Structure 1
């Protein structure tokens, strides 16, 4: 992980607004998974949590975890719902927001795939 790249990326607020726009439930599920993986790597660094919170990343990710949205990003296979939920939950756990997902996602459900 290149900390310098992450710092440059996170400091530009336009980058985060583009990421939020790309997390639209109507986008390709592959793209959503890749973006969530990228945000997960960034969320591993506690120094970035405040910036991610100010950019409304937790609420955006939580919106993807809600069961009602599964039908939008599962147009190809039912596996995407589990991947999106798992990757989104990881971000929230890394940010210390486990209580937001406690009854919405089983973090160990991905192991059964």
Structure 2
């Protein structure tokens, strides 16, 4: 009889905890949202260049995009290169476009 009462008491305690678990989980996510969670800002920047080689044009286009990001307050470490394309305009003359995405 005593073991039956202990089992019943344990079942009631577990049922009570199961009822409180969603409330505790909601309280934890609400506390994280109000204290530690910070919304991130992401922006894209583009650049272009015209140079004598495709490699140099791509490099200059990426540099221009990174300069635009720097003027907007992003650090170089916060940015990643999305693409850099070059195209031939004339013999020995190339153009390039580049895009970066920055998140802080």
- TM-score, length-scaled by structure 1: 0.24
Q: Please say which structure displays the higher CA radius of gyration.
A: 2
More strand by share: 2
